[in-house]
Amino acid sequence: MAPRSQNSVVEGILVETSGIERPFTVTKTMPHSLIVSFEQSKEPNDASAFANCRISLGDKSLELGAGEYHKHPALPRRRKDDPPPEPGHGRLVFSENIWKFSSLRHTGRVTSLQQRVQQLPLLWKRKELVCAPFRQYTLELLYDLQVYRAQFDSVDRGLARETEAVRERVSQTIVDTQYGAFSKFLDRKLDELALVTRHFDRYEHECHGFFFRKQLWDIILSAAFMARTNLKPRGYAGDSTMMDMIYKNAFIGSSSFARFMHYHPLQHPGSCAVRNRRKIVVERMREMSAGRDKPLRIISIACGPARELLDLFAEPEDLDRYHLVLLDQDPEAIAEAKESTNAVQEKLGRAPTIEFIHGSVRTLSQALAKCQVEKADFLYTMGLFDYLTPPVARSVLGQLATLLQPNGSILLGNFHPENPSRTYMEYWLDWVLFYRNEEDLISLTRGLPVRESRVFLEPDKAQLFMEMKL
């Protein structure tokens, strides 16, 4: 679930050059265009120019300027595996500015190329704050990685003329014989990074991290996982696609070096913690359902792709043991969670009882009340609190407490300040969280009628958990 969300339903008004206004709804956001739907008989002509476009972002509005409207082309579907047609009626493309819409539906924000160019002097000035030891470390690291990369690239170029069977065999041999040494090399470099940044305050970390990523940008983009966390196509680092990369935990990439760079952070404690928490929450639900004569009612907040369902529903009898409500503000995450449900149905022959709710933290109570969701025996949220400031976290936990039956339990996760992957995540991945220790988590419960509580770390000691019974 993304932080600082606005209402995900984005509406707007298209003002034609003639002055006619046509209301629309944003159906899908593209990086630099909007796919939209119009009311019946209100759709403009294809390739028609418009004078202005206004969109509503929650309680704010934004003027995007002039541009053109292009209808979706009518493509016949001749085969079952043809791609589905685009949603909506057509696209709005803009001519006065280059807008970036990638995070519009998730964070309620839009940026323009003009705004980013205007920030260049400020960004350039940041490098003056970068200390000499850090500059030297970054320069040497970049050189070492590029030299390492050249050795693998040399083999990869030779493989281009080989058969597919030879490419697969040699690629696997590279993994088997070289990844261990590469991993140790990069681990040593991470230890050096932690040492050279150990006395930085928050602002110094931010400035040095920005400098670091700009120097190593080409290497970062070579790794699918690192590219995802840095580019943030949905507006935040910890999206459901990134979670699936962690769960898959495989060598992925177009080159040997890219595969190594992708795989390395997946082996670090931060990623291991994500896989551990999937096991922890399933084990807890199984414990709570044991001996019950009625289904365990469960609510998952910021559910993401909900891959834990594949573990929870292991046998047909499990379909009657659990009734779930899955809530996320990211519509793509909800779609992926539905894929998890479909996989359960395909495996067990019947769909589990699951309700999906598209809603944000800000509208949590209203969304659940509107859907008349029954109160839960067990509620869990594994990653949401990593993105919440202390005041918001206390408010959200208070809301979650109202969703429980008497004797119900909440299990929430939050990364610990001593997370062994913290430097890696902040400098390489641009993945900055609100960390909390044991005392910080317990302090969130003040004022709540807590009957029992416990705080514990997962095995890799990166993520902290608190379970509380009301």
* Angle ∠(463,468,470) on CA atoms, nearest 5: 160
**Backbone φ, ψ for residue 254 (5° rounding):** -90, -5
Q: What is the pLDDT of residue 273?
A: 97
Distance CA 360, CA 354 (A): 18
Contact 49, 96 (CB under 8 A): no
**Residue 196 Cα to chain centre, angstroms:** 29
CA distances from 351 to 293, 301, 322 (A): 20, 21, 12
CATH class, 270-469 region: alpha beta
Q: Which residue has the tokens 């290497």?
A: 219
Q: In sequence order, which residues have a C-beta less than 8 Å from that of residue 338 and are 6 or more positions away?
A: 356
| All structural domains of the chain with their residue ranges | 11-118, 124-231+254-266, 270-469
Contact 377, 408 (CB under 8 A): yes
For residue 97, give the amino acid letter: N
Query: Each residue's pLDDT tens digit in the chain (470 positions)?
Result: 333 334 467 899 999 999 999 999 998 889 899 999 998 778 999 999 999 999 987 677 889 999 999 999 877 666 666 666 778 899 999 999 999 988 787 677 888 888 888 888 888 888 889 999 999 999 999 999 999 999 999 999 999 889 999 999 999 999 999 999 999 999 999 999 999 999 999 999 999 999 999 999 999 999 999 999 999 988 788 888 999 999 999 999 999 999 999 999 999 999 999 999 999 999 999 999 999 999 999 999 999 999 999 999 999 999 999 999 999 988 888 999 999 999 999 999 999 999 999 887 766 666 666 666 789 999 999 999 999 999 999 999 999 999 999 999 999 999 999 999 999 999 999 999 999 999 999 999 999 999 999 999 999 999 999 999 99
| The model's pTM | 0.83
For residue 457, give the amino acid letter: L
Contact 67, 92 (CB under 8 A): yes
Of 422, 309, 326, nearest to 371 by C-alpha is 326
